[in-house]
Amino acid sequence: MELEGRGAGGVAGGPAAGPGRSPGESALLDGWLQRGVGRGAGGGEAGACRPPVRQDPDSGPDYEALPAGATVTTHMVAGAVAGILEHCVMYPIDCVKTRMQSLQPDPAARYRNVLEALWRIIRTEGLWRPMRGLNVTATGAGPAHALYFACYEKLKKTLSDVIHPGGNSHIANGAAGCVATLLHDAAMNPAEVVKQRMQMYNSPYHRVTDCVRAVWQNEGAGAFYRSYTTQLTMNVPFQAIHFMTYEFLQEHFNPQRRYNPSSHVLSGACAGAVAAAATTPLDVCKTLLNTQESLALNSNITGHITGMASAFRTVYQVGGVTAYFRGVQARVIYQIPSTAIAWSVYEFFKYLITKRQEERRAGK
C-alpha cells in the first residue's frame, strides 16, 4: 500500500541507505514512514500518529465502501431482489396475518394460531389460496424496495457524515429509514390495497385485474391511497425502530462491517420482531382501511372509513382495546423471517455486485 505524503524522492518501499546514513538509521526512518510520521514534499504531515492500515488480502473488497459510480445502481438491484424474494417466501403467512386482523371475521374464518389458520385455508379453499395476489405484490415490491434501500444507504451516509463524521449515527440511521419509507410506501400502497382485498375470506376477486377494475369503478383512484397516511404513520416508526435496532446489533455482532451472513440474519430478525410488535395497532388500522371490511363498516356512521382517526375509532368500537393487537402473533412470526431474508439477501447481492465491480476495475 502506497503511503500518503511521501517525499519527492521517496519510493514505495522506503528510502535506501544513502551516503552518510547507516543501515540502522535507514531502517529506523523507514519504520517512521510506514507509521505515517514522515513529511511530504510540501512539508505537511502525512497522517501523523495514525497507525498503518492493514487489510486482509483474503477479505475481498470493502462492500460498505462501494465504487462511487455504481453505488445507487448496486443498492437498487440488491434491494429489488431482496424485496421480491422476501414477499414471495413469506406471502402465505402474510395472508394469514390479514385474516387474523379482521375485526368481525366470518365464523369459518376464526383461527386460533398461524399454523391452524394456514392448514384450514389450504384444506377448505385449496392449496394455492394463500398465494392469491402474490403477482401484484411482487410487481410492487421490486421498485418499492429498490427505492427504499437506495434512499436509505445514500441518506445514512450523508447524515452520518454531518452528525458523526467518520462514525455511525443512530439518529442518522433512523432518519434515513423514515425518509426511505416515504418512497417505499408511495410505490407499494396500491399493491397493498389489491393484495389485502384478495386475501380476505370469501373475497370476490380471483384475478388482480378484476380487483383493480372494481376498486377504480366503485371507489375511485383515491381508494388505492386511502391508507397511505396510516401506512406512513405505521411504517415511519416501524422503520425507525427497525433500522436503528439493526445497525445497533451490527455494531455488536459485526463491528468490522464485513460481509457476515449470520450477523445479517440475526440482526434483521431481531430488528423486525421488535418493530413489528411495537406497531401492531397501526397495522390493524391499516388493514381495516385497505379492506373496508363490511361488518366493521356497519359500526361507522359515515359509511366509509377514510382516515386514521376514523380507523382507530372503529377498531375500538368493534373490539375494544384488545382489537388493536389482533394478529400480533402472525405479524411477529411473519416479520422475523421476513426481515432476516430481506437483510441477508440485500447484503449478499450488495457484496456480490461490489466484488464483481472491483474485479473488473482490477482487470483494466
Percentage of the chain exceeding pLDDT 90: 33
Higher pLDDT, 42 or 65: 65
pLDDT of res. 65: 46
Report helix, strand or coil for 315. Answer: helix
Q: Is residue 293 part of a domain?
A: yes
Range of the domain at 301: 225-325
Report helix, strand or coil for 39. Answer: strand
Q: Is residue 245 part of a domain?
A: yes
**Does residue 357 carry a pLDDT above 90?**
no
Average pLDDT over residues 64-77: 64
**Does residue 5 carry a pLDDT above 80?**
no
Residue 303 pLDDT level (bands cut at 50, 70, 90): low
Q: Is the CB of residue 179 less than 8 Å from the CB of residue 170?
A: no
pLDDT of res. 71: 67
Q: Is residue 184 part of a domain?
A: no
Q: Is residue 219 part of a domain?
A: no
Q: Is residue 215 part of a domain?
A: no
Number of domains the chain contains:
1
pLDDT of res. 2: 38
Residue 292 pLDDT level (bands cut at 50, 70, 90): confident
pLDDT of res. 44: 40
**Does residue 278 carry a pLDDT above 70?**
yes
pLDDT of res. 134: 96
> Cα–Cα distance between 256 and 342 in angstroms, integer?
21
Q: What is the pLDDT of residues 120-138, one digit of tens each?
A: 999 999 999 999 999 999 9
Q: Is the CB of residue 188 less than 8 Å from the CB of residue 197?
A: no
**Does residue 223 carry a pLDDT above 80?**
yes
Percentage of the chain exceeding pLDDT 70: 77
Query: What is the average pLDDT value for the chain, to the nearest integer?
Result: 79
pLDDT of res. 171: 86
Q: Is residue 261 part of a domain?
A: yes
Q: Is residue 50 part of a domain?
A: no
pLDDT of res. 40: 39
Q: Is residue 236 part of a domain?
A: yes
Q: Is the CB of residue 197 less than 8 Å from the CB of residue 203?
A: yes
pLDDT of res. 85: 92
Query: What is residue 149's DSSP assignment?
Result: H
